[in-house]
Amino acid sequence: MFSKHSKPQNRIDSLIGVGTKVVGDLHFTGGLRIDGEICGNVIADPGKASTLVLSEQARVSGEIRVTHLVLNGTVIGPIEANEYLELQSKAKVTGDVKYKTLEIQLGAIVEGKLAHISEATEKVVSLKVSGAESK
| Separation CA 60–CA 68 (nearest Å) | 16
| Separation CA 18–CA 79 (nearest Å) | 22
Q: What angle do CA 66, 75, 67 make, to 5 degrees?
A: 10
Q: What pLDDT is stored for residue 14 in this prediction?
A: 93
* Residue-wise pLDDT tens digits, 87-130: 999 999 999 999 999 999 999 999 999 999 987 544 444 455 65
Residue 15 is given by DSSP the state E
What is the number of other CB atoms lying within 10 angstroms of the CB of residue 99?
Answer: 21
Q: What pLDDT is stored for residue 128 in this prediction?
A: 58
List of long-range contacts for 35-39, beta carbons under 8 Å, 24+ apart: 37/61, 38/62
Structural domain boundaries in the chain: 14-110
Residues 6+ apart with CB under 8 A from 130: none
Q: What pLDDT is stored for residue 77 in this prediction?
A: 98
Q: What pLDDT is stored for residue 135 in this prediction?
A: 46
- Banded pLDDT at 10 (limits 50, 70, 90): confident
* Residue-wise pLDDT tens digits, 37-87: 999 999 999 888 899 999 999 999 999 999 999 999 999 999 999 999 999
